[in-house]
Amino acid sequence: MAGAAELLAGLAVPAVLIDPGGIPVQANLAAEIFLNASQQALAERGWSAAFGHDSVVDDLVLRARADGSGCAAYDLPLHFAGGRIARADVLVSPVGEAPDWLTVAFQTRSVATLVDRQVHQQGAARSAVGVAAMLAHEIKNPLSGIRGAAQLLASGSDSANSLEDRRELTDLIVAEVDRIAKLVDRMESFTDTRPMTLRPENIHEILGHVRKLSEQGFGSGIAITESYDPSLPLVAANRDALVQVFLNLFKNAAEATGNTGRIRITTAFRPGLKFRPEGGGPPISLPLEVRIIDNGPGVDDDLVDHVFEPFVTTKRGGTGLGLALVAKIIADHGGVVEYERTSEVAETVFRVRLPVARTSGRAA
């Protein structure tokens, strides 16, 4: 496993390599610092070198080995032998072609914490100014698409010549006007805690609608490509709310890349990914993954840990409410949203993970 050990050593996040016998045989420098235990101590005494006895990390490793796939617990409290307590996302994954070997990575920037933090900042968004700014921000997005569709209809261009094309554009306008009306109705408060009505939805149809709307407005001229998993199950969702989520993410990507940018949309089924609620209880499976990827510059380093918080923005004239609303809506769906900057190919990734609907249907 020399290759895996070399890869581990180059990672910035704390990571540990576990052999088939359950022994943490390799730890990178970041892991030694985070765990306050040397690689030798971990190899000799196991996780007890860092956590003492009955470590929750042991449970995750055993579960990953039993499931035969990776697993994750978000915002997990870790109790160290010296009395220190830290919260981290703990990700356990099999190693390539040697699934009996596992890697355990600790991410101290917890998505669950970020989502929870913005939900608790209710005072700012409850104010009249906060609500008014959010409504203005969210209504501008669909208005852009409506304006573009109306201009095509009025111009009589080749894109709107046939009856079918005109009907498609008018249907888009009607759908977005209806959605704005619903948005205004339900946006009495950013911190609306009423249970969201969820039903089985085809995530690809939702993404297709958002893409079409984007191309008629703020995303015109931007190259958008798709890579969809055709066997994806239906998602448990509120359709209008998820349209709002992905419209925000598309708009952010379009603004970050400009007219010469590229946006990729991917979907995948990740059955091994589970989310452990902060209040306890059994892990929740979040196997549906949607990624919005762009080649823009990404978020400033000093704002990465605050990207989902209200009123945090680097845009001139921005309100900092779009991603806060994304996090709120995804949390209401029982899912999580993550931000990632990939240094290898210089891309920005927003990853949305959602639960499967209780039905056997597929998102073709």
Q: In this predicted model, what pLDDT tens digit does every residue of 298-320 receive, in sequence order? A: 887 777 777 887 656 666 555 56
| Residue 285 vs residues 58, 72, 103, 226: alpha-carbon distances, Å | 19, 10, 20, 25
Domain definitions of the chain by residue range? 2-108, 115-130+196-354
Per-residue pLDDT band for 112 (boundaries 50, 70, 90) equals very low
Distance CA 197, CA 180 (A): 18
pLDDT of residue 354: 93
**Top-level class of domain 2-108:** alpha beta
pLDDT above 70 coverage of the chain, percent: 74
Distance CA 74, CA 71 (A): 10
Distance CA 103, CA 8 (A): 9
* Contact assessment for residue 200 and residue 359, using Cβ atoms and an 8 Å cutoff: yes
68 three-state secondary structure: coil
pLDDT of residue 228: 95
Distance CA 22, CA 32 (A): 18
57 three-state secondary structure: helix
Look at residue 63 and tell me whether its pLDDT is greater than 80.
yes
Distance CA 141, CA 90 (A): 36
Distance CA 52, CA 45 (A): 10
Per-residue pLDDT band for 91 (boundaries 50, 70, 90) equals confident
87 three-state secondary structure: strand
Cβ-Cβ contacts under 8 Å for 128 (sequence gap 6 or more): none
Q: Which amino acid is at 255?
A: E
Per-residue pLDDT band for 109 (boundaries 50, 70, 90) equals low
Q: Is 6 exposed, middle or buried (0-12, 13-18, 19+ CB in 10 A)?
A: exposed
Look at residue 116 and tell me whether its pLDDT is greater than 80.
no
* Contact assessment for residue 150 and residue 159, using Cβ atoms and an 8 Å cutoff: no
**Nearest one of 98, 31, 103 to 60, comparing CA atoms:** 103
Tokens describing residue 247:
């419209």
Per-residue pLDDT band for 12 (boundaries 50, 70, 90) equals low
Summarize the confidence of residues 208-215 as an average pLDDT: 91
Per-residue pLDDT band for 275 (boundaries 50, 70, 90) equals low
CATH number assigned to the domain covering 115-130+196-354:
3.30.565.10
Buried b (16+ CB within 10 A) or exposed e, 280-310: eeebebbbbbbbbbbbbebbeeeeebbbbbb
Summarize the confidence of residues 18-32 as an average pLDDT: 89
Helix (H) or strand (E) holding 71: strand 71-79
Tokens describing residue 170:
């008018």
* Contact assessment for residue 274 and residue 73, using Cβ atoms and an 8 Å cutoff: yes
What is the Cα 246 distance to its own chain's centre?
11
Q: pLDDT digit string (tens) for 179-202?
A: 777 666 555 545 556 678 899 999
Tokens describing residue 288:
């549906």
What are φ and ψ of residue 233, in 5° steps? -70, 170
Q: What is the overall mean pLDDT for the chain?
A: 78
